[in-house]
């Protein structure tokens, strides 16, 4: 299946993400809480764009069954945003005041450019890494998480069955709509690079 | 140029304007010390960027109301002609029209395309003015002489300056509160693009 080929070809970047200091510290519970707060603020900004990209890609589908699947993905993204709203409240983040990092901005602009300008299959290739990577990272971190990890809720969300099911559904739709072509490979790999940069940004911003 | 630099969008951008229009790459191009590899990198990446710019301008033109169509459509046709011109220069130097876009180039083109589709056309006009005003200012700092005279005069001549003034007039005719933000984001991308062509 195309989604397997894409994942295998980018396993190097998946490994770099899992080995990234941000995720290693999140996994062992030593991540600076301020850093986690910055990350969540950026992720909330990003997720809104992700939601819109689903909407635009769905609107372009010729087959109404595919539109419906995109609608289900939007529901999933809205659920994830609700989880963020909980974090946002407990961490005291004002979402309206979030200033996107250059890495966030680049990722968001990329998703929007794909969603509006390219066919849904290519847009899905740009969106799948976020889902598959988080499922992968969630499971790996859950397997090694120490007791009373302050970030256990975050890990459990992405290690959980519900998130894995949505990630698998996104991959199925990718298989249905995308072709094995350079633009698809390129979008997938660039999205993985955007993911890696996304983990680096909150570590570098110590202001 | 002084008149241009007194426009509110540029004045409010502060130091970003200078950062977007002055570059080690251009200094070296002007004094003859530019490594050929750096020029080749710029040519390939600027061509990739211009292809993205064409899509951005096409979408912007489609959303622009009728009374303001002509300069936007003329600008679109000019980019098309510029792509031909780039392709000739790339071929002469044995360079590729399919060089992978550097992430900095890609970010810039993604920003423009996302703006064209998802923002009101007034905001895209401010970004377009930013793209072209930066080029006019950057290349106008150089004397049109030496091996790159053709490149310098292309973006510092009166024809191009007149187009940039027209774009500025369009942003005044079609104001929008998000223009300043889009304009400044364009300057950041210009700054990063020049750095990329110099540093690789």
Q: Which residues lie closer than 8 Å to A135 by C-beta, 6 or more apart?
A: A158, A159, A163, A164, A167
pLDDT value, residue A199 = 97
Tell me the nearest-neighbour CA distance from A142 into chain B, angstroms: 33
CA atoms within 13 A on the CB side of A137: 29
Query: pLDDT grade, residue B156 (50/70/90)?
Result: very high
Q: Return per-residue pLDDT of chain A as tens, 207 residues.
A: 999 999 999 999 999 999 999 999 999 999 999 999 999 999 999 999 999 999 999 999 999 999 999 999 999 999 888 888 888 888 888 888 889 999 999 999 999 999 999 999 999 999 999 999 999 999 999 999 899 999 999 999 999 999 999 999 999 999 999 999 999 999 999 999 999 999 999 999 865
Do the Cβ atoms of B117 and A193 come within 8 Å? Answer: no
Chain B residues with at least one Cβ partner in A under 8 Å: 55, 103, 106-107, 109-111, 113-114, 117-118, 185, 188
- Give the residue from chain B lying closest to A110, CA to CA: B110
- How far apart, in whole angstroms, are the C-alpha atoms of residue A35 and residue A91? 11
Q: Are A112 and B103 within 8 A, CB to CB? A: no
**Tokens linked to A35:** 């850093």
**CB-based burial, B130-167: b 16+ in 10 Å, e otherwise:** bbbbbbbbbbbebebeeebeebbebbbeeebbebbbbb
Least trusted range by pLDDT, from A90-94, B29-33, B64-68, B107-111: A90-94
The stretch B1-8 carries a mean pLDDT of: 85
Using a CB-CB distance cutoff of 8 angstroms, which residues of chain B are in contact with residue A105? 107, 111, 185
List, for residues B172-183, the tens digit of each pLDDT value. 999 999 999 999
Q: What is the pLDDT of residue A195?
A: 98
**Inter-chain touch A113–B114, beta carbons under 8 Å:** yes
In chain A, the residue whose alpha carbon lies closest to the alpha carbon of B111 is A109
In angstroms, what separates the C-alpha of B139 from chain A's closest C-alpha?
Answer: 27
CB pair distance less than 8 Å for B107 and A109:
yes
Out of B103, B106, B117, closest to residue A117 by CB: B117
Q: Which of A18, A22, A33, A20 is nearest to A138 (CA)?
A: A18
Please give the model's pTM, rounded to 2 decimal places.
0.94
Q: Check residue A205 and give its pLDDT.
A: 82
pLDDT given at position A206: 64
- For the question of an ipTM over 0.90, the answer is yes
Name the nearest CA neighbour of B95 among B44, B25, B151.
Answer: B44
Does the CB of A200 have a partner CB in chain B at under 8 Å? no
For B191, the token pair is 């700054």
A143 close contact with B: CB closer than 8 A: no
Contact between residue A205 and residue A110 where contact means Cβ atoms under 8 Å apart: no
Res A159: pLDDT = 97
Residues B30-38: what's their mean pLDDT? 92
């Amino acid at each position: 299946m195309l989604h397997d080929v894409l994942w295998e070809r980018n396993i190097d970047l998946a490994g770099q993400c899992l080995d990234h200091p941000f995720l290693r510290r999140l996994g062992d519970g030593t991540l600076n809480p301020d850093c986690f707060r910055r990350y969540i603020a950026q992720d909330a900004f990003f997720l809104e764009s992700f939601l819109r990209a689903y909407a635009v890609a769905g609107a372009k589908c010729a087959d109404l069954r595919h539109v419906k699947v995109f609608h289900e993905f939007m529901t999933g993204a809205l659920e994830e945003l609700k989880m963020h709203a909980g974090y946002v409240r407990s961490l005291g983040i004002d979402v309206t005041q979030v200033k996107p990092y250059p890495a966030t901005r680049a990722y968001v602009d990329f998703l929007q450019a794909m969603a509006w300008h390219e066919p849904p299959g290519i847009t899905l290739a740009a969106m799948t890494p976020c889902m598959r990577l988080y499922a992968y990272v969630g499971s790996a971190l859950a397997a090694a998480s120490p007791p009373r990890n302050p970030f256990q809720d975050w890990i459990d969300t992405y290690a959980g069955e519900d998130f894995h099911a949505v990630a698998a559904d996104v991959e199925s739709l990718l298989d249905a709509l995308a072709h094995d072509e350079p633009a698809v490979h390129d979008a997938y790999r660039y999205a993985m690079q955007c993911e890696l940069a996304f983990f680096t940004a909150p570590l570098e911003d110590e202001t | 140029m002084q008149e241009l630099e007194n426009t509110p969008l540029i004045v409010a951008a502060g130091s970003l304007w200078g950062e977007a229009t002055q570059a080690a790459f251009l200094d070296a191009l002007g004094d003859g010390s530019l490594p050929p590899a750096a020029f080749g990198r710029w040519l390939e990446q600027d061509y990739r960027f211009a292809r993205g710019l064409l899509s951005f301008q096409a979408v912007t033109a489609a959303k622009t109301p009728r009374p303001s169509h002509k300069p936007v459509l003329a600008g679109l046709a000019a980019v098309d002609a510029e792509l031909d011109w780039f392709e000739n220069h790339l071929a002469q130097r044995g360079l590729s029209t399919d060089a992978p876009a550097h992430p900095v180039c890609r970010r810039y083109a993604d920003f423009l395309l996302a703006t064209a589709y998802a923002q009101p056309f007034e905001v895209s006009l401010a970004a377009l003015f930013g793209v072209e005003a930066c080029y006019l200012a950057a290349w106008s700092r150089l004397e049109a002489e030496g091996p790159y005279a053709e490149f310098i005069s292309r973006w510092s001549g009166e024809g191009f300056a007149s187009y940039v003034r027209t774009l500025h007039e369009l942003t005044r005719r079609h104001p929008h509160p998000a223009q300043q933000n889009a304009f400044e984001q364009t300057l950041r991308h210009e700054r990063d693009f020049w750095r990329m062509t110099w540093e690789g």
